[in-house]
Amino acid sequence: KQEVTQIPAALSVPEGENLVLNCSFTDSAIYNLQWFRQDPGKGLTSLLLIQSSQREQTSGRLNASLDKSSGRSTLYIAASQPGDSATYLCAVRRSNFGNEKLTFGTGTRLTIIP
């Protein structure tokens, strides 16, 4: 059974700093990994999706990396802003046929201090 872990559970950093969020998974047989953002009481917004054959994806100030063999992914946020405060979730998908569900981690609650 796939298990996804995110450490730390909560993180506070001053505005402007760069930061890294971590995600680890126990079964390396994944199809892709996705990072989401969730604001309090709201649904999920997809940030980045990395296919199993890829090493990283970038979008603006966000960069996600994937090391499938070691079961790890990181989300790097550059020049953090107060608007980045949210819970960040990573999720893995086992395959593209027959097992399409996403398995989520418990999230990292990020607070950017102005």
Partner 1 sequence: DTGVSQDPRHKITKRGQNVTFRCDPISEHNRLYWYRQTLGQGPEFLTYFQNEAQLEKSRLLSDRFSAERPKGSFSTLEIQRTEQGDSAMYLCASSLYRGSSSTDTQYFGPGTRLTVL
| Interaction site with partner 1 (CB under 8 A) | 4, 31-32, 34, 36, 41-46, 49, 51, 89, 91, 96-97, 99-107
Judged by beta carbon, residue 32 or residue 73, the one nearer partner 1 is: 32
Q: Which is nearer to partner 1, 10 or 79 (CB)?
A: 10
Least CB distance to partner 1 at residue 97 (A)? 4
What is the smallest separation between the CB atom of 34 and partner 1, expressed in angstroms? Answer: 8
Q: Which two tokens stand for residue 34?
A: 């996705």
What are the tokens at 64? 């996600």
CB of 106 to partner 1, least distance (A): 5
User: What tokens were used for 46?
Assistant: 């997809």
Query: In angstroms, what is the C-alpha Rg of the chain?
Result: 14
Report CA-CA distances (Å) from 24 to 19, 42, 43, 72, 90. Answer: 17, 24, 23, 4, 9
